[in-house]
Amino acid sequence: MALAFDEFGRPFIIIREQEQKSRLRGLEAQKSNISAGKAVARILRTSLGPKGMDKMLQSPDGDVTITNDGATILEQMDVDNQIAKLMVELSRSQDYEIGDGTTGVVVLAGGLLEQAEKLLERGIHPIRVAEGYETASRIAVEHLERISHKFEFDTTNIEPLVRTCMTTLSSKIVNRCKRTLAEIAVKAVMAVADLERKDVNLDLIKIEGKVGGKLEDTELIYGILVDKDMSHPQMPKRIVDANIAILTCPFEPPKPKTKHKVDIDTVEKFQTLRHQEQKYFDDMVQKCKDVGATLVICQWGFDDEANHLLMHRNLPAVRWVGGVELELIAIATGGRIVPRFQELTPEKLGKAGVVREKSFGTTKDRMLYIEQCANSRAVTIFIRGGNKMMIEETKRSIHDALCVARNLIRNNSIVYGGGSAEISCSVAVESTADRYPGVEQYAIRAFADALDAVPMALAENSGLQPIETLSAVKAQQIKENDPCCGIDCNDVGTNNMREQDVFETLIGKQQQILLATQVVKMILKIDDVISSAEY
Amino acid sequence: RVYGLDLAVEVIQGDELLRGKWQGGGVDDACVDFLELSMLRMLNQNIEKLCLGSQIWIEKSVAHLPLVDHRVELFLIYVRSGRMEGTSIDRFSFVLLSPFEELECGHADLPIFGIFLQPFIFEARVPHRVDQQLLAQQLLLEGRGLEVASRGLKYERLFKDEATEEKGERAKMACFIGAMAIADLVKTTLGPKGMDKILQSTGRNRSVTVTNDGATILKSLHIDNPAAKVLVDISKVQDDEVGDGTTSVVVLAGELLREAEKLVSVKIHPMTIISGYRMAAECARNALLQRVMDHKEDPEKFKTDLMKIAMTTLSSKILSQDKEHFATLAVDAVMRLKGSMNLESIQIIKKPGGSLIDSFLDEGFILDKKIGIGQPKRIENAKILVANTAMDTDKVKIYGARVRVDSMAKIAQIEGAEKDKMKEKVQKIVSHGINCFINRQLIYNFPEELFADAGILAIEHADFDGIERLGLVTGGEIASTFDNPESVKLGHCKLIEEIMIGEDKLIHFSGVELGEACTIVLRGASFHVLDEAERSLHDALCVLSQTVADSRVLFGGGWPEMVMAKEVDELARKTPGKKSHAIEAFSRALQAIPTTIADNAGLDSAELISQLRAEHHKEGSTAGIDVITGAVGDMEKLGISEAFKVKQAVLLSATEAAEMILRVDEIITCAPRKREDRM
């Protein structure tokens, strides 16, 4: 900490306990921030693309996660550095907004930071760099719009959607059966999509996983799958044409929220109370029965007595069903969630064609399938796989694929993948750069170079010579004026991404560029870091 | 940039003392020679901490690293802050540089090894652990009181203090070593001559388990290596899913990784290995599918198949002495299920005493409970009510109810009312026309007495499983309310009696309505034997019930592995490109299983495997390892069979796990969660 002295040589204290705080200022601050950002990008760099590797993360509690998903890696690695945390945020916001491309966005930001460092060393003011980047990102986004294609699809022709989802899945461990999974994801999205409003509520797609079996057994269920079983072991395991009462009140004696006491002082009172209690249970079950329910799904627990009464009256019931699941069941079956027995009416019951219990493996695991619902707008993707980590990774991959399909329904423009879009943008930005007077020109050129970071990483991960491959592809793009040339990661023999069927969504790509630029701008603007000493 | 600080830099190089002057951001020429740029940057960053008169010593020393056969120059940097002259020395972290660019692995992703020399922190980039230790030793020898720790200190620290990051080669190495260590651990238990392990728990009583079951062994291990955790997980899933093959799956995954390690070391990319493994696994599965036998149509043959499978499974366990006896038990029990997968209806009761051969299958149901005093010990044509209700004090369940009285007389009244209530309840139960009442919860003395009076056999505190099974077996429903005696379904059985096994009295229900349920009573010398016998029998039952569902059968004794290895080898020959190495490696990994079986049996594995391979070159061979005679034998004649489903699960999940581990190129271990000290 630099000390300020007054005319008598005594130091001014400006910041409390300043001796124990470390401080970085000016260019040094920017450089150290940049190097932190780059370090994060370097970790993710090897996970990019179809030949990208996975990371193994061990949580503070010793649980192991193996993943390829940028957002998950960053979230779980528990970073301590402030700038690194910004990068984590960046990946997360891409995940929330788009769902896919979480690795790419970090790699791009890393590239931008690397270029910025060079510019700073040449004495260009960080704000000028930031402004140049801003201009360049606008150019790139507009250019993307120009090279994008409209992808026509409808409910019968889902092939284009499937192929885009396959591009996303090909970088994950599940690429063994990417076709099946992509189809499942697209079908699921189409089932819940509102094509007129061009909107998809992904909450209606439930992803449920169970270890055992193989990945190929993963299935799409037009209905809901609940990891619960019937409350009484002797209730029927299969119900056809079920009328479902969806309750959020327990089959238990009432527990008023206000504090109260029931005093018993005579034998009569004791007896009436007892009869009351019996009648209470009886009434509850009778009410369900009266409205014609053939299945009760309840958020709370059952008393033993109530449980038996339900069983006795031949009314199968499921207890302890989670709130989210309850909502999904209500949506799927067209029923209403009923908070009180008094409010049960026949109209509020949900309808389902088949409700069945299925058991797995040698343990007592059972799950409840609710299928052929009145309103098939809620679906479940049921994932099987060899081990827990595999299931978790598959869940994340499916989530990515679902997001991609949703984005396409919102906006059916696509750009070509394999780094071709980045290269094309880079070429466009580079050629525009010359038209800008002033220092920004350098920043814009640097932006073009930074865009190359993504195809470069792709080539590197695929075992190709990065610089050689990139320059060859770039030359080809300019020569043939064809923005579909990308990096041939799978060694197919052509680097035309149209022929390879590698697509990405336009909004995903645009978002990547915009988000990365924003974060880099933010990092560049920091010129003073004050942190308390650790010792 | 001028910070207004002038520092004297003294550099001791060997015996020669170089003096320099530090000015703001620069160092005199004399020092620049070996002060590398990044160190300068480090010093620059800390310059604000330095005050006028701070002293810096830089000392050079040389270490020899045998693994990379290279000499590394070390620069030790001492800083004394002028401000605190004499009293204490500031902490600075400086990079300890070595000209490691000359090393072959001088890659930016090298792990960084930190040596802590109080109060200075030095960091060195040293690629091998052995070298790190030597380096540390050397520094220790120099008497600097070093504290050595292998922490991932970085120039810009990203992670929390105790988090570590392992990258590239090192991460792969950690994965391979961890996975192989686990595989080697359970390897010796594989096959009919496999040995057992003793597991001692860390709990207070240090209980001991003796077992041969892979899943049980792995479940009880505390493992830190993340890759090893993946293997433990697949073994557990295998246990849950098919019940057997828990050791094979780990051994196969371990072998696949061992082969992969060799390939990685000759610079084949993991992704290439993965795609090779995938092709091989697919091919191996198809090979099995072609050779699979299905005798579902022929019940007689199917039953012998089941017998064979049961004997094969049991032969590697403690029950191998009496495997025929137990195989019959298991097959009978599973056949009674009539295709249902519900293993819960097979009850296993363990009673120490006697020998394993005294174990028996009982058609009825045995409940490990005693009959209440003064109640009939034997009931014929029993009508049973199975209940789950409170028979201690039937409390009023309405919340907040409590008794408040103002005289002793009233207490007596209410007590009387409570008793009446219980009496009424018992009356209701009795009015079902039953002669046996079984409750999940306790029955207090008072109602028990009432039951005895009514001549009803009352059994209290049957556990939950027992109740469910009883309901299933006797065909009754589990009741909790007793107001409608006419509509409650009662359970029936021909005879209830008290029987003695060893010294214990048990209640035996025979002639039950549903024939599905049965009980296997295990007898044996000690609890350890019984526990292991139960696990073995459970394995056998699981496999059998899975086979009933999927009746495809294969030969055992290393036969499936050899069949797969042959097909995979052929695929390797047909495949162009680097993938074929991976495919070949897969075939080698498959052959490792019969090799291990032979090794464990003390046979000459190399000889046997080559004979086996030659035998399998013939079309339709049924050769496998005959561990008893120690030669290649005909598996068909020997009657050694395995379920297809088990083998398929082993193959697929082992490949999947190997693939997952291979794809990893970086391990990030977060700082362990701090335990709060409750002291």
Is A35 within 8 Å of B632 (Cβ atoms)?
no
pLDDT band at B114 (very low <50, low <70, confident <90, very high): very low
Q: Which one, of B110, B113, B20, lies nearest residue B63 by Cα?
A: B113
pLDDT of residue A137: 93
Is A244 within 8 Å of A318 (Cβ atoms)?
no
pLDDT of residue B31: 39
Give CA–CA dist A255/B398, Å, rounded.
7
Q: Which residues 51-90 of chain B have a CB within 8 Å of chain A?
A: none
Is A284 within 8 Å of A251 (Cβ atoms)?
yes
Q: Does A51 touch chain B (CB under 8 A)?
A: yes
Length of chain B: 679
pLDDT of residue B32: 39
Asked whether the predicted pLDDT for residue A221 surpasses 80, the reply is yes
Cβ neighbours of residue B109 closer than 8 Å, sequence gap 6 or more? A42, B167, B168
pLDDT tens-digit map of B612-628 = 888 888 877 888 888 88
Asked whether the predicted pLDDT for residue B585 surpasses 90, the reply is yes
Cβ neighbours of residue B116 closer than 8 Å, sequence gap 6 or more? B122, B146, B147, B148, B149
Tokens, residue A383: 């994932």
pLDDT band at B674 (very low <50, low <70, confident <90, very high): low
Asked whether the predicted pLDDT for residue B374 surpasses 90, the reply is no
Answer whether B237 sits within 8 Å of A388, measured CB to CB: yes
Is A403 within 8 Å of A100 (Cβ atoms)?
yes
Find the CB nearest A35 among B155, B401, B402: B155
Chain B partners within 8 Å of A528 (Cβ): none
Is B136 within 8 Å of B115 (Cβ atoms)?
yes
Asked whether the predicted pLDDT for residue B36 surpasses 70, the reply is no
Answer whether A361 sits within 8 Å of B653, measured CB to CB: no
pLDDT band at A19 (very low <50, low <70, confident <90, very high): low
Pairing relationship of beta strands B197-200 and A64-67 according to DSSP bridges: unpaired
Cβ neighbours of residue A460 closer than 8 Å, sequence gap 6 or more? A45, A466
Q: Which one, of B341, B359, B340, lies nearest residue B349 by Cα?
A: B359
Is B665 within 8 Å of B584 (Cβ atoms)?
no
pLDDT of residue A301: 78
Give CA–CA dist A268/A270, Å, rounded.
5
pLDDT band at A521 (very low <50, low <70, confident <90, very high): very high
pLDDT band at B257 (very low <50, low <70, confident <90, very high): very high
Cα A155 to Cα A409, B76, B179, B437, distances in angstroms = 11, 70, 47, 61
Please name the fold of domain A225-376: GroEL (3.50.7)
Asked whether the predicted pLDDT for residue B279 surpasses 50, the reply is yes
Q: Does A61 touch chain B (CB under 8 A)?
A: yes
Task: Select which of B531, B539, B569, B626 is catalytic.
Answer: B539
Q: Which residues 341-380 of chain A have a CB within 8 Å of chain B?
A: 359-365
Chain B partners within 8 Å of A311 (Cβ): 477-478
Is A370 within 8 Å of A224 (Cβ atoms)?
yes
The DSSP bridge partners found for residue B631 are: B626
φ/ψ of B2, rounded to 5, equals -115, 125
- How many Å lie between the alpha carbon of B262 and the closest alpha carbon of chain A? 19
Q: Does B480 touch chain A (CB under 8 A)?
A: yes
Q: What integer best gives the mean pLDDT of chain B?
A: 71
Asked whether the predicted pLDDT for residue B110 surpasses 50, the reply is no
Please tell me the least confidently modeled range out of A7-21, B86-100, B466-480, B510-524: B86-100
What's the rounded mean pLDDT across residues B342-369?
Answer: 78
pLDDT of residue B253: 92
pLDDT tens-digit map of A396-416 = 889 888 988 888 888 888 888
- How many Å lie between the alpha carbon of A148 and the closest alpha carbon of chain B? 31
What's the rounded mean pLDDT across residues B147-168?
Answer: 51
Task: Select which of A65, A67, A69, A167 is catalytic.
Answer: A69
The DSSP bridge partners found for residue A221 are: A380
pLDDT of residue B33: 38
Q: What kind and span of H or E run contains B410?
A: helix B408-430
Q: Provide the sign of the torsion angle of the four alpha carbons B585, B591, B596, B599, taken in this order.
A: negative
pLDDT band at B44 (very low <50, low <70, confident <90, very high): very low
User: Of the ranges B118-122, B142-146, B307-311, which is most confident?
Assistant: B307-311
Q: Does A141 touch chain B (CB under 8 A)?
A: no
Give CA–CA dist A510/A138, Å, rounded.
10
Cα A80 to Cα A90, A263, B667, distances in angstroms = 16, 59, 17
The arrangement of secondary structure in B167-295+579-669, i.e. its CATH architecture, is Orthogonal Bundle (1.10)
Cα A309 to Cα A247, A314, B521, distances in angstroms = 17, 8, 35
- How many Å lie between the alpha carbon of B68 and the closest alpha carbon of chain A? 26
CATH class, domain B365-514, is: alpha beta
pLDDT of residue B95: 32
Asked whether the predicted pLDDT for residue A388 surpasses 60, the reply is yes
- How many Å lie between the alpha carbon of A172 and the closest alpha carbon of chain B? 10
Please tell me the least confidently modeled range out of A466-480, B120-134, B379-393, B536-550: B120-134
Cβ neighbours of residue B408 closer than 8 Å, sequence gap 6 or more? none
Q: What kind and span of H or E run contains A188?
A: helix A178-192
Interface predicted TM-score (ipTM) over 0.85: no
Q: Which one, of B399, B431, B430, B395, lies nearest residue B414 by Cα?
A: B395
Answer whether A28 sits within 8 Å of B269, measured CB to CB: no
Q: Does A478 touch chain B (CB under 8 A)?
A: no
Find the CB nearest B405 among A80, A256, A265: A265
SS3 of residue B366 by DSSP: strand
Name the residue with higher pLDDT: B469 or A473.
Answer: A473
- Residue A194 is a catalytic residue: no
Name the residue with higher pLDDT: B665 or B464.
Answer: B665
**Unique residue bearing structure tokens 């889902």:** A158
Asked whether the predicted pLDDT for residue B583 surpasses 70, the reply is yes
Asked whether the predicted pLDDT for residue B156 surpasses 70, the reply is no
What residue of A is the nearest CA neighbor of B646?
A213
- Residue B362 is a catalytic residue: no
The DSSP bridge partners found for residue A5 are: A11
pLDDT of residue A378: 81
pLDDT band at A3 (very low <50, low <70, confident <90, very high): low
pLDDT band at A364 (very low <50, low <70, confident <90, very high): low
What's the rounded mean pLDDT across residues B267-272?
Answer: 84
Q: Which residues 541-570 of chain B have a CB within 8 Å of chain A?
A: 542, 545-546
Cα B269 to Cα A46, A56, A181, B339, distances in angstroms = 13, 18, 26, 47
Task: Select which of A65, A67, A72, A102 is catalytic.
Answer: A102
pLDDT of residue B241: 79
SS3 of residue B468 by DSSP: helix
Q: What integer best gives the mean pLDDT of chain A?
A: 83
Q: What is the DSSP string of B632-658?
A: EEEHHHHT-EEEHHHHHHHHHHHHHHH
**Unique residue bearing structure tokens 């150019």:** A139
pLDDT tens-digit map of A128-152 = 999 999 999 999 999 999 888 887 7
pLDDT of residue A288: 82
pLDDT band at A257 (very low <50, low <70, confident <90, very high): low
Q: What kind and span of H or E run contains B93?
A: strand B92-95
Cβ neighbours of residue A498 closer than 8 Å, sequence gap 6 or more? A416, A484
Say if residue B244 is exposed, middle or buried (CB neighbours under 10 Å; 0-12, 13-18, 19+). Answer: buried
Alpha helix segments (H runs only) across B431-552 = 445-453, 464-474, 527-549
Chain A partners within 8 Å of B397 (Cβ): 252-253, 277, 303
Find the CB nearest B388 among A28, A278, A304: A304
Q: Which residues 220-239 of chain B have a CB within 8 Å of chain A?
A: 224, 226-227, 229-230, 233-234, 237, 239
pLDDT band at B124 (very low <50, low <70, confident <90, very high): very low
How distant is the alpha carbon of residue B229 from its chain centre? Answer: 7
Find the CB nearest B159 among A1, A78, A232: A78
Find the CB nearest A308 among B401, B481, B668: B481
Please name the fold of domain A2-147+421-458+506-530: GROEL; domain 1 (1.10.560)
HSE-CB for A198 with a 13 A CA cutoff: 7
- How many Å lie between the alpha carbon of B498 and the closest alpha carbon of chain A? 27
Cβ neighbours of residue A481 closer than 8 Å, sequence gap 6 or more? none
Answer whether B156 sits within 8 Å of A264, measured CB to CB: no
pLDDT of residue B135: 52
Tokens, residue B647: 């083998």
Answer whether A60 sits within 8 Å of B670, measured CB to CB: yes
Q: Does A215 touch chain B (CB under 8 A)?
A: yes
Chain A partners within 8 Å of B278 (Cβ): 176
pLDDT tens-digit map of B311-332 = 888 887 777 778 888 888 888 8
Asked whether the predicted pLDDT for residue B340 surpasses 60, the reply is yes
- Residue B188 is a catalytic residue: no
Domain ranges of chain A: 2-147+421-458+506-530, 225-376
Asked whether the predicted pLDDT for residue B136 surpasses 70, the reply is no
DSSP character for B195?
A: P
SS3 of residue B398 by DSSP: coil
pLDDT band at B123 (very low <50, low <70, confident <90, very high): very low
* Cis check: omega of the bond before A316, within 30 degrees of 0: no
Whether the pTM exceeds 0.90: the reply is no
**Unique residue bearing structure tokens 């001028």:** B2
- How many Å lie between the alpha carbon of B389 and the closest alpha carbon of chain A? 7
What residue of A is the nearest CA neighbor of B666?
A55
pLDDT tens-digit map of A310-321 = 877 788 888 888
For domain B299-364+521-550, the question of CATH label 3.40.50.1820 is answered with no
Answer whether A308 sits within 8 Å of B416, measured CB to CB: no
User: Of the ranges A283-297, B71-85, B244-258, B500-514, which is most confident?
Assistant: B244-258
- How many Å lie between the alpha carbon of A333 and the closest alpha carbon of chain B? 30
- Residue A265 is a catalytic residue: no
Find the CB nearest B240 among A253, A303, A363: A363
What's the rounded mean pLDDT across residues A215-223?
Answer: 84
Give CA–CA dist A500/A484, Å, rounded.
10
Give CA–CA dist B653/B236, Å, rounded.
11
Alpha helix segments (H runs only) across A337-381 = none
Q: Does B477 touch chain A (CB under 8 A)?
A: yes
Q: Which residues 355-414 of chain B have a CB within 8 Å of chain A?
A: 388-390, 396-406, 410, 413-414
What's the rounded mean pLDDT across residues B523-545?
Answer: 85
Give CA–CA dist B111/B133, Å, rounded.
14
Is B492 within 8 Å of B384 (Cβ atoms)?
yes
Buried b (16+ CB within 10 A) or exposed e, A424-450: bbbbbbbebbeebeebbbbbbbbbbbb
Tokens, residue A128: 């000028």
What's the rounded mean pLDDT across residues B634-638?
Answer: 84
